[in-house]
């Protein structure tokens, strides 16, 4: 065979480089187009969910559940694996299942469909809480953070998994539920009681956690592993009443006012749990300023009285250390010209896991005094924390580090309430984690101009996709 001239070999090599460059560009173009299509699909689902009215109390979660079910059916889910369950009118829940091999117990992805009320006149800059608005690098809208971001992400990610033919070792169950914000017809409670088999799982991902930025730079990724118990108490004072022109020493409003002063001064003892110490240890590594030594002492579980007071002056730290109670509503009297025969106040308490509700009741009664009665409104349901050293927690840490190297994963006990508590009580390990980062000090949940950074929303979608796939494979 005759050898090619040097010029011919040079031209051939140049041609091959050109072809490779074209192929690389084409592949990159296809990848970009595919990523753009996935982003558009996700935002479309997000928009539809935010703009479906599920505000308490008039909203319709059934309509939202049906809309999300359609996206899964369009992606190829079998109709038998996508159920809209409506135990009460306009209080529907969606339960869907991506079938795996069944080698391990399922993974549950949980988000709630209902949101708290919002009025357009209360929002700024012409924003409409019933619409998803992208402005200045943020998505605005009621539920854009709590909790329709995670709901939309779960639906889009599962639809993508189905189209790709992803078949993990675990089934992946999606539950989008009603009435988390109000509790009147709570979807999780109903499913546990009536259709436990639909949502039974070994581990679940839920709201309650999230990341924190400082000037746009991630510095902490929180994972909710436990939550306080919600318990309200009714304080009531009574007196004989009478004409306001002849006041005596007895007055139900004054008695109630003195009782509330006593409650205001009530402070419950601190508790240093494993989760609390790990939280303050991680916080101490990221905080700056005069509180750092006191935080370090709390992390060791050995703060001095002065250090404990210093840390407790910060509400978010104080809520991690002890049970808290605060007056939230008050009413009294029946006429401007009559002495009050009755005065009442609601005191809302958030009990630490393991705190005895009877102890809290007794402390409130002692603080309120003998002239005011204290009655529990409903019953607190204690919830044990998730295992901080379980394989699922290790997976969360590993996936988080792959996306945000060096950013610590911090266990949290949230002061609020989520649907994680009843699931934990049902034997399902629940971890609240989203991968959605907010700027330090900003949290507009339930408030005006609720929003999520656009960049953070897409990063959260990527994180939850990776995490769900890893957990579903039993890793």
| Contacts with 236 (C-beta within 8 Å, 6 or more apart), sequence order | 256, 342, 343, 344, 372, 373, 375
Query: Do the domain assignments include residue 322?
Result: yes
In 215-339, DSSP assigns E strands to: 217-227, 229-238, 242-243, 324-332, 338-339
Tell me: do 124 and 182 sit in the same domain.
Answer: yes
Closest CA to 436 of 46, 113, 121, 29: 46
DSSP element (H, E) containing 462? helix 454-472
End position of a domain, from candidates 348, 377, 406: 377
CATH at 299: 3.30.70.360
Residue 2 scores a pLDDT above 50: no
Query: Do the domain assignments include residue 203?
Result: yes
| pLDDT score for 34 | 64
Maximal C-alpha separation, the chain: 125
Tell me: do 273 and 335 sit in the same domain.
Answer: yes
Rounded CA-CA distance 94/109 in Å is 11
Tokens at 92, concatenated: 């529907």
Tell me: do 180 and 266 sit in the same domain.
Answer: no
pLDDT higher for 285 or 58? 58
* DSSP structural state of residue 378: S
| Contacts with 81 (C-beta within 8 Å, 6 or more apart), sequence order | 96, 97, 98, 99
Tell me: do 263 and 310 sit in the same domain.
Answer: yes
Closest CA to 86 of 67, 66, 104: 66
Highest mean pLDDT among 80-94, 175-189, 210-224, 413-427: 80-94
Predicted confidence band of residue 469 (pLDDT cuts 50, 70, 90): very high
Tell me: do 160 and 59 sit in the same domain.
Answer: yes
End position of a domain, from candidates 356, 377, 398: 377
Predicted confidence band of residue 5 (pLDDT cuts 50, 70, 90): low
| pLDDT score for 1 | 46
Q: How many structural domains comprise the chain?
A: 2
| pLDDT score for 24 | 59
CATH at 163: 3.40.630.10
The 3-state DSSP class for residue 232 equals strand
Query: Do the domain assignments include residue 411?
Result: no
Tell me: do 244 and 191 sit in the same domain.
Answer: no
| pLDDT score for 7 | 58
End position of a domain, from candidates 377, 399, 427: 377
Query: Do the domain assignments include residue 252?
Result: yes
Query: Do the domain assignments include residue 216?
Result: no
**pLDDT tens digit string along 327-384?**
999 999 999 999 999 999 999 999 998 899 999 999 999 999 999 999 999 888 778 8
Closest CA to 211 of 455, 471, 474: 455
Q: Which of 103-112, 194-203, 225-234, 251-260 has the lowest mean pLDDT?
A: 225-234
pLDDT higher for 2 or 154? 154
Averaged pLDDT, 412-427 = 90
Tell me: do 362 and 425 sit in the same domain.
Answer: no
**pLDDT tens digit string along 279-311?**
898 888 777 788 999 999 999 999 999 999 999
- Provide φ and ψ at 327, rounded to 5°: -70, 130
Tell me: do 369 and 233 sit in the same domain.
Answer: yes
Query: Do the domain assignments include residue 394?
Result: no
For the beta sheet containing 451-453, the strands, ordered from the edge strand earlier in sequence to the opposite edge, are 133-135, 138-140, 451-453
Tell me: do 179 and 308 sit in the same domain.
Answer: no
Tell me: do 184 and 54 sit in the same domain.
Answer: yes
Predicted confidence band of residue 20 (pLDDT cuts 50, 70, 90): low
Tell me: do 70 and 194 sit in the same domain.
Answer: yes
Query: Do the domain assignments include residue 137?
Result: yes
| pLDDT score for 288 | 76
Mean pLDDT of the chain: 92
Averaged pLDDT, 119-148 = 96
Four-residue CA torsion sign, 200, 205, 206, 209? positive
Whole domain around residue 141: which residue ranges? 42-208+418-472
Query: Do the domain assignments include residue 296?
Result: yes
Averaged pLDDT, 143-162 = 98
Tell me: do 203 and 234 sit in the same domain.
Answer: no
Tokens at 293, concatenated: 């030594």
Tokens at 75, concatenated: 């992606």
């Amino acid at each position: 065979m005759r050898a090619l001239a040097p010029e011919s070999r040079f031209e051939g090599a140049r041609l091959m480089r050109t072809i490779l460059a074209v192929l690389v560009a084409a592949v990159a173009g296809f990848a970009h187009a595919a990523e753009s299509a996935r982003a558009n699909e996700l935002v479309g689902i997000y928009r539809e969910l935010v703009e479906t009215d599920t505000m308490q109390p008039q909203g319709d979660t059934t309509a939202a559940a049906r809309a999300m079910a359609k996206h899964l059916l369009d992606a190829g889910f079998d109709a038998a694996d996508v159920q809209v369950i409506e135990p009460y009118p306009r209080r529907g829940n969606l339960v869907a299942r991506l079938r795996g091999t069944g080698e391990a117990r399922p993974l549950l992805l949980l988000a709630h469909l209902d949101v708290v009320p919002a009025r357009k006149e209360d929002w700024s800059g012409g924003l409409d809480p019933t619409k998803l608005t992208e402005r200045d690098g943020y998505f605005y809208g009621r539920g854009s953070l709590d909790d329709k971001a995670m709901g939309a992400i779960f639906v889009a990610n599962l639809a993508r998994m189905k189209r790709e033919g992803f078949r993990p070792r675990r089934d992946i169950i999606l539950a989008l539920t009603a009435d988390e914000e109000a509790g009147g017809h709570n979807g999780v409670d109903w499913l546990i009681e009536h259709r436990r088999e639909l949502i039974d799982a070994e581990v679940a991902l839920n709201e309650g956690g999230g990341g924190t930025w400082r000037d746009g730079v991630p510095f902490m990724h929180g994972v909710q592993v436990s939550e306080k118990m919600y318990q309200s108490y009714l304080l009531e004072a009574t007196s004989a009443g009478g004409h306001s022109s002849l006041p005596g020493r007895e007055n139900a409003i004054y008695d109630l006012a003195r009782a509330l002063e006593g409650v205001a001064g009530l402070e419950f003892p601190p508790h240093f749990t494993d989760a609390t110490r790990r939280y303050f240890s991680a916080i101490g590594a990221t905080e700056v300023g005069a509180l750092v030594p006191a935080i370090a002492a709390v992390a060791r579980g050995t703060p001095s009285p002065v250090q404990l007071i210093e840390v407790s002056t910060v509400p978010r730290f104080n809520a991690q250390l002890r049970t808290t109670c605060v007056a939230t509503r008050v009413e009294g009297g029946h006429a401007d010209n009559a002495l009050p025969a009755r005065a009442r106040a609601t005191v809302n308490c958030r009990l630490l896991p393991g705190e005895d509700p009877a102890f809290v009741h007794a402390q409130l009664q002692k603080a309120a005094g003998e002239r005011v009665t204290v009655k529990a409104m409903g019953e607190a349901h204690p919830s044990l924390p998730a295992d901080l050293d379980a394989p699922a927690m290790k997976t969360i840490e590993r996936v988080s580090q792959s996306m945000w190297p060096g950013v610590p994963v911090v266990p949290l006990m949230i002061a609020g309430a989520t649907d994680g508590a009843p699931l934990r009580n049902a034997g399902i390990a629940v971890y609240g984690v989203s991968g959605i980062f907010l700027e330090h000090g900003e949290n507009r949940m339930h408030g005006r101009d609720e929003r999520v950074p656009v960049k953070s929303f897409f990063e959260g979608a990527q994180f939850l996709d990776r995490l769900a796939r890893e957990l579903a494979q039993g890793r």
